[in-house]
Amino acid sequence: MSYKIINDNCLNVLSTKTLPFFDLTFLDPPFNQGKEYSCYDDNIDEKEYWKMMNEICKLIFNFTNNGGAIYFMQREKNAEFVMNCLRNAGFSFQNLIIWKKKTSAVPVNGKFGKHYQIIVYATKGERAKTFNRLRIEPPLPPNYKFQRENGIFLTDVWDDIRELTSGYFAGDEAIRTENGERFHKQQAPIALLLRIILCSSRVNDMIFDPFAGTGTTLVVAKQLQRNSIGIEIDSKNTNFIQQRLDNFRDSDIIEKYFKEYSCTENISEIWGEFFETENKIFQRNKTKTSF
């Protein structure tokens, strides 16, 4: 299994370099909402921002295998722009996923408070070459009499994954500097990338993340025996990604989520027979022998 971390501007890399073809892309760009990034202006003209995102999506499309998938995450108010970008690039729309982030809603004057983020799932071609119908086992609603025998199929509303907020609820997973500050305010949860990669890829596939941040995508891909390429403009982040991949923290290890998906038919095949932790590879359901 291989991974590659590139410290550069993804637009530059995608337009000038030869890359292997991707089976799945997770696109989590800065949202252009004035957040603090050391190497990037997160407050550019809207038109310029969407022109750049259009260009990036087109280049990703060219590097995507037929039937390959893209998941583009953005603020709910930008759903229309995200869909346009993907359509203009040539992708076929599949789902508008609502990620209801298990955190308090953000109050807004004069309209409803904001409680979710969107992830648009699209494919190159009408049909996905890989779409694993995952089953999960959410808690039983109070009016249900009997336990479900076999969980339920995952839908387009994801309300069971907590966002990594700044405070106490972020738990151990949020990476912190020595003084307790968040290392990266936009770090995506392991559970989110795990779900996306499980749904839309197979063992040995190539996963691409053009705005890699703290490398969450690569961390999950490596454990699931998928190849990956991450591009990140800030060298502080790329250095950190390398460290994170060399030494998984307990909170990065995906094995604790296996049970959540255990009612999925062929989950062992989707998840892979092997898993990697502490830089050793183990075979699932066998005596843990490293090799």
Ligand X SMILES: C[S@@+](CC[C@H](N)C(=O)[O-])C[C@H]1O[C@@H](n2cnc3c(N)ncnc32)[C@H](O)[C@@H]1O
> Which of 69, 78, 85, 184: binder of ligand X (CB under 6 A)?
184
Residues β-bridged to residue 72? 27, 120
* Residues 6+ positions from 145 with CB-CB distance below 8 Å: none
Any contact of residue 213 with ligand X (CB under 6 A)?
Answer: yes
CB closer to ligand X, 212 vs 270:
212
Any contact of residue 272 with ligand X (CB under 6 A)?
Answer: no
Any contact of residue 233 with ligand X (CB under 6 A)?
Answer: yes
Evaluated on CA atoms 47, 53, 54, 59, the torsion sign reads positive
Any contact of residue 186 with ligand X (CB under 6 A)?
Answer: yes
> Which of 234, 253, 257, 274: binder of ligand X (CB under 6 A)?
234
Least distance in angstroms from the C-beta of 142 to ligand X: 35
Q: How many angstroms separate the Cα of 79 from the Cα of each of 43, 47, 57, 266?
A: 19, 15, 15, 33
Q: How many angstroms separate the Cα of 104 from the Cα of each of 31, 163, 245, 247?
A: 20, 10, 31, 32
In the complex, which residue's CB is closest to ligand X? 213
> Which of 207, 231, 245, 270: binder of ligand X (CB under 6 A)?
231
Least distance in angstroms from the C-beta of 266 to ligand X: 28
Least distance in angstroms from the C-beta of 236 to ligand X: 9
Q: How many angstroms separate the Cα of 121 from the Cα of each of 26, 94, 118, 209, 228?
A: 10, 6, 10, 15, 19
Any contact of residue 19 with ligand X (CB under 6 A)?
Answer: no
Q: Which of residues 235-264 bind ligand X (CB under 6 A)?
A: 237
Least distance in angstroms from the C-beta of 11 to ligand X: 6
> Which of 94, 123, 200, 214: binder of ligand X (CB under 6 A)?
214
Q: Using an 8 Å Cβ cutoff, are 196 and 26 in contact?
A: yes
Q: How many angstroms separate the Cα of 193 from the Cα of each of 106, 113, 217, 236?
A: 23, 26, 6, 22
Cβ burial of 199 (10 Å; 0-12, 13-18, 19+) is: buried
Least distance in angstroms from the C-beta of 135 to ligand X: 26
Residue that is written with structure tokens 């779409």 in the block: 131
- Residues in contact with ligand X by CB under 6 A are 9-11, 28-30, 37, 39-40, 184, 186-188, 211, 213-214, 216, 231-234, 237
